[in-house]
Structures are given as C-alpha cells and as structure tokens.
Structure 1
Amino acid sequence: MLLKILSIILLCSGFTYAQERLIIIGGGKRPADVLTKFVELSGKDQGEILIITWASGEQEASFQSIKKDISALSPIKVVHAPVSPLAVESKEVLLSQLKTAKGVFFTGGDQVRIMKVLEDESLFKAMHERYHKQIVFAGTSAGTAIMSEKMITGEGKLDVIDGSQVETKKGLGLLPNVIVDQHFVKRQRENRLMGLILQNPTLLGIGIDENTAVYVQDNKLAEVLGESQVLIFDTQQKKNEMKMYFLKKGDKFDLVKKSKLKI
C-alpha cells in the first residue's frame, strides 16, 4: 500500500526515471529503420542531432554523408560537432552543443582517434552525464567500438582464438559489462571476440554485423534492428563452456540476465 501511494505521489509530481538509450550499428549501410528509431528518440522534427566525426580522416565528408541520410527521413536539425583536434574555443562549443542536443551520433573510421579526444576528462564526463539524462547516443563502426569499456582497437591477430593477441584500450564505456565488435559476420571477426570473452569471462561479447544495429534500453534490454545478424557470446568459466546466441531483426536479449527473450 505504501509503495502504491509513493508511486502516485511521484507520478503527480512529474517525476520520471532516467532512461539510457543507445543504438550501435555494425558498420556498412545505415538502414532506414535504424535511423528512423534514432530520429524518433532524438525528438523528431523538434529535436537536434549532434554528429561527431572525429574517427574519420575526412570529417566534413563524413558529416555530409550522414546528414544526407537523416535529412531524407526527417527535417530534424543536424549539426556538426567541432572537428578534431579541439582547441580551447572549439571544446567550449562542443560542450554547449551537448547541452542542447537530443541525440549524439559517432561516425566510423578509427576508434582510437575518438578516444584520443576523450582523454580530456571533462569531455569524457560530459558524454556520460548527457547519456544518463535521457539523451540518445548512437554510433556506427568505430563509433560502436567505443561504447565498450574495454574497446577493441582493430590491431591484433584474427587467425587464433586468443584474447592476449587482440589489442584493447579504454573506451567511452556507455554500455557496461560487454565487449562490442562490429562488421562481425562480414569480416569474420568471431575469433577475436571469442578470445577476448574467454579472457574476460564476466563480460558478454556482442558481435554486430554490417547493416545491422542493436538498440539498448537502460543498459539492459537489447533489440536487433536492420538487415543482418547479431551474435552474443557468454562464457561460463567454471563449466569451461561458451554459449552463443544468434539474433536477427526483432529479436530481444536481456543483457543482465544473459538470456534471449521469447517474442
């Protein structure tokens, strides 16, 4: 009875729980259903999307490419974050943009370039603060790789299942307790992800193929969007076993309970 009363009080006061929302694309094309979901979560035509292109060697071209894709779906405002490297003035512009954006998107390229910029602790902290305040974050390819706390850099051996042969560095880490890999089926990257999960058995491995995305709510519920597949690896060290879950569009997975949900 007390809980019911408290719920009514919170509802009447306008209190809402924070909801973390993340869309991670495995590279390749940006499917319309994925971008439509991102635009919807970013406030539709009343919102504002901030595009961060630090991973790219051609940052302006990278911005124009995704702006074209989004503009074909919605009149939502799309703005370009200052290109890297950042000066004092451009850093302040970025912090201001983060305060007004309803959606933040990291484009592809080299994930190490993104994290080089985010070595600035104030920027790193600002990203996390916005994520925890209902601002939807998204990324593709390199922009997906950074979402793990332990980020795959792309360096290492792919012909062995040995996590010690795969280079990782600190990622942005918006999605805890996982290691994310991208271009997964297309580039046959299962060896490196399985090796890392065997080496880090408390973490889940999420391999996202090209033209495919995972939409994660509250760092718990994952849903597959797009055209191809997602593979999830779960190692149970005491049993010396690894479970593999194969997910397609529409499938859902509980990242906390480590179980595929029945539709």
Structure 2
Amino acid sequence: MFSLRLRTLFQAALLAALPLAQAAAPAAPAATNAATAPQGSLVIVGGGLKADNAEIWQRIVTLAGGPGARIAVLPSASANPERAGQWISERLNSYGAAAFVVPLSVRLADTDFRKVAEDAELASAVRSAGGVFFPGGDQSRITEALVRADGSRTAVLDAVWDVYRRGGVVAGDSAGAAIMSSTMFYAPNSVLATLRSGVADGRDIAPGLGFIGDDVFVDQHLLVRGRFARMIPAMLKKGYKVGLGIDENTAMVVDRRRQVEIIGVKGALLIDLTHATTDSARAGFNVSNAVLSYLDRGDRYDLATHTFTPAPEKAGGRLADGRELARQPVYSSDILGRNAVVELMENLVNNHENEAIGIATSGREMGEGVQPPAFQFTFRKTPDSVAYLKPETHNYSILNLRLDIRQLDAASEPVPVLSN
C-alpha cells in the first residue's frame, strides 16, 4: 500500500507513542456525528514557523493533550514529504509530544496516495491522536491527497475531522493554514495580477477543508507579502464578509467558541466586508467601505460576537484624542511591500490627517509605452477607529480603518507621488 520503509517508520513511531498517548489524548465522547459542532481548536500559522518559537509549538502540544500527546503529522503539501514530516515531528517531540508521520502524499514515490488515504490502519492511527499538523508547501497537494474526486472525504480526512470534533487540535503552517477555510487560494497569480485580473474558481481559488467554517476566509504569509490585497477580490467573489490573514512565525488560535487569539511574533489583519460595495460602472477592480483592523500578538477577537479584546498589557493603552500628533501626509508608494500596510495604519492613527494613500503598481511599462495598471488604496479614520499601544515595545493594535481601492486611469490620473 505504501513503501516498506515508510510503513516501518510509521509503525515504529506509532508503537513508541502509544503508551504516552493513551494517557494524554483528549477523551472521545460516546458518539459523534458530522452535525456536531467541533469541540477542538485550530492553530493557524502564517508560514515560516521557527524551531525556537516555543509559544506556538508548546500551544499545539498542550491543545493536543499535553506531555506525551500523540500528534499525526501529514506532510502532504511538501515537495519532500519525508524530510518535512521528520522535521516537524522532531520539533513537536522536542516540546514534549509523541508525534508520528502519516505517509500520505502525492509526492511519495512507489505509493498510490488514493489507496493510502483509504487505509483503515492509517485512519485509525490518526483518529486516536490528540492532534494533527499540516506542514507547508503547496496546499493543492493536501486536497488532492485527502479529498476524493467526487469531493467527499477520504478515510484519513474523516479521521482528522473526528480528532477536531471530539476536542483535539488541528494545526497548519503556510499551506496547512490555507486549507483551514472552505475556500483557499489554489494556483493564484501575484497579488497585483490578482487585482488586475480577478480570481477564477478552479484556477486561482478552490475548495479548502473548511475547519474554521464557511463564513471566514483565511490567508497566510500576509504582511511580508502584501496578501491582504488579494484576499479582498477572493472574498468578494465567494461572498465572504470576514477574512483573517496571519503573518509569518505567528499563529491564530481558534477555540471551540470561535474566539481567536494571536500568538507568536507579529499579528494578523482582519478584513470586514459587511458594508463593502463595488461599482460595476468603474473600470478595473474597486471596492468601497471595506474595514481593516490589525490584531497584534496577545489580542483576541470573537468571531461569534465580533468583539475585540486587547492584550492584557494594552488594556489601558487606548490612544486618546487630543494627544500630540504628526502633521504630514501619510503615504506609501508600495502598499504591497513588506509590512507596508501596518506601518501606514500606524502612521495614520498617529497623525492629524484623517486619510492615507497607498499605491500598488509594478512600475514597469508593458511595451509600446503602455503603463501597467496602478491601484490606489485610501485608508480613512472613522468615528469607530480605535488604536491601542504597548509603549515598551511600540506594538499597536488598530481597529476599524475604512479602506477603498480603485484602479487609476493611466491616461488621466498619473500615479500620485508624495513625500513620506
């Protein structure tokens, strides 16, 4: 079914982990069914999870059951699943887990991944674990390996869902984060190309595994790659009102009550399109009245009630009106650049100006003197805009900035250039 070497490694890891797992894994209820709301947690990592990020690794192990918890590692997304599976399992074990690698991938030689995905022994091993971890790579490989051609769940995927339903943790890094929503980016263009050309079902976006539910869109590598701008066209295409994009070496922990906690190094962007509109008469992609918030580490957001709670050390750090503010235009010539959107948001909340402008363009001619499309991002403070600050580290949480995006007319609207 799968190679002798991989079967041997899997069985050895399973036997080594079993005594610890029986004590540590969350207890399963007497009966579960697909209609039961999951009682488990999600740990959604934005990519680039470092080996020394103890806060995230330890949280995964704790949610899986604590010391000795068995965690199934599914390296299905990786181009080198054996190496990725070994690296992740070693990291988890260094933080107290008893992890084992599930040898299921379209990239494993001498295996039929379709048969492996239906293997009863493998499914049983996953089902008895306290957690599941999906490493990074290409998320399309995960769905190819775990979802049948008719869209139904394979035996192994059913087992993953059983872990989640009964109270275990499902964690994923990068590609493993992308699969968390019911729609995921599949083979997308660049962020700017997505603004120019939109998104197409089956090419740019495709069904994910939907652990977070059908109402929240998830993306990853967010701040370092300016991906908030590609989330909005995808959300509009599929009718999402709420989107969460998480940055690298950072995680969103989503509990059974759908409360989100940010842990790790940086933060996440919350996109709210509840009152957003588009103008079909205007050329190119456009959106008005989107709402953008930045959730920093330690912050919490309740997806059920749409309420925000700042990190405890920021609770008294709400920025007050009347404080001394800067007095110069707030502008970014590359709003899709590394961390540019958060830096602009921080500058805006500390400025007398109520509006900030960001520009996205490739800056290269498309031949025959034709300029590529450029997009203007206009951020505005509103009566609902709020910011919190932790002075010791200069970390901000920023809520409810309005965002409008429109394509500039190259013939009549030259790209604005302002001094930062």
- Report TM bin, short chain: 0.7 to 0.9
Which residue in 2 is equivalent to 1:137?
170
| Residues 107-139 of structure 1: CA deviation (Å, up to 9, x unaligned) | 100000000012232334333232111111000
| Residues 17-76 of structure 1: CA deviation (Å, up to 9, x unaligned) | 9622000000012421011000011122232011000100101110121122222222x2
| Distance of 1:184 and 1:18 partners within structure 2 | 27
Q: CA deviation at 1:82?
A: 1.8
| Distance of 2:93 and 2:154 partners within structure 1 | 31
CA contact (8 A) 1:178 1:206 kept: yes
CA contact (8 A) 2:231 2:243 kept: yes
| Distance of 1:259 and 1:242 partners within structure 2 | 17
What is the aligned length? 247
Gaps of 5+ in 2: 1-29, 31-36, 107-112, 278-287, 313-420
The equivalent position to 1:208 in structure 2, one of 246, 249, 254, is: 246
Residues 18 and 161 (structure 1), Cα distance of their counterparts in 2 relative to 1, 3 Å cut: closer
Within the alignment, does 1:146 sit opposite 2:146 as a pair?
Answer: no
Is the partner of 2:222 in helix, strand or coil? coil
Question: Where do 1:93-172 residues align within 5 Å?
Answer: 93-120=121-148, 121-123=153-155, 124-159=157-192, 160-161=194-195, 164-165=198-199, 167-172=204-209
Which residue in 2 is equivalent to 1:67?
89
Residues 88 and 229 (structure 1), Cα distance of their counterparts in 2 relative to 1, 3 Å cut: same
Farther off after superposition, 230-239 or 243-252: 230-239
Is the partner of 2:245 in helix, strand or coil? strand
Within the alignment, does 1:55 sit opposite 2:70 as a pair?
Answer: no
Q: Percent identity?
A: 30
Which residue in 2 is equivalent to 1:11?
none
Q: CA deviation at 1:83?
A: 2.8
Is the partner of 1:45 in helix, strand or coil? coil
Which residue in 1 is equivalent to 2:293?
245
CA contact (8 A) 2:205 2:234 kept: no
Residue type of the partner of 2:216? V
Within the alignment, does 1:88 sit opposite 2:115 as a pair?
Answer: yes
Q: CA deviation at 1:242?
A: 1.2
Residues 238 and 110 (structure 1), Cα distance of their counterparts in 2 relative to 1, 3 Å cut: closer
Question: What TM-score, normalized to structure 1?
Answer: 0.86
Q: CA deviation at 1:170?
A: 0.7
The equivalent position to 1:77 in structure 2, one of 86, 98, 111, is: 98
Which residue in 2 is equivalent to 1:226?
264
- The structure with more helix, counted as a fraction of residues: 1
Residue type of the partner of 2:66? K
The equivalent position to 1:192 in structure 2, one of 217, 226, 230, is: 230
| Distance of 1:172 and 1:212 partners within structure 2 | 21
Farther off after superposition, 64-73 or 212-221: 64-73
| Distance of 1:109 and 1:27 partners within structure 2 | 10
Residues 72 and 122 (structure 1), Cα distance of their counterparts in 2 relative to 1, 3 Å cut: closer
Farther off after superposition, 129-138 or 238-247: 238-247
Q: CA deviation at 1:97?
A: 1.3
CA contact (8 A) 1:162 1:195 kept: no
Residues 46 and 27 (structure 1), Cα distance of their counterparts in 2 relative to 1, 3 Å cut: same
| Residues 187-238 of structure 1: CA deviation (Å, up to 9, x unaligned) | 1112101222333444311111101000001261000010012001001236
Residues 126 and 203 (structure 1), Cα distance of their counterparts in 2 relative to 1, 3 Å cut: farther
| Distance of 2:181 and 2:116 partners within structure 1 | 29
Farther off after superposition, 214-223 or 253-262: 253-262
Residue type of the partner of 1:92? A
| Distance of 1:19 and 1:65 partners within structure 2 | 28
Relative CO higher for 1 or 2, CA cutoff 8 Å, sep ≥ 6? 1
Question: What TM-score, normalized to structure 2?
Answer: 0.55
The equivalent position to 1:29 in structure 2, one of 49, 56, 59, is: 49
- Could you say what the CA RMSD is over the residues aligned between the two structures, in angstroms? 2.3
Is the partner of 2:292 in helix, strand or coil? strand
Q: CA deviation at 1:162?
A: 6.4
Residues 23 and 135 (structure 1), Cα distance of their counterparts in 2 relative to 1, 3 Å cut: same
CA contact (8 A) 1:148 1:180 kept: yes
Higher gyration radius (CA): 2
Residue type of the partner of 1:110? D
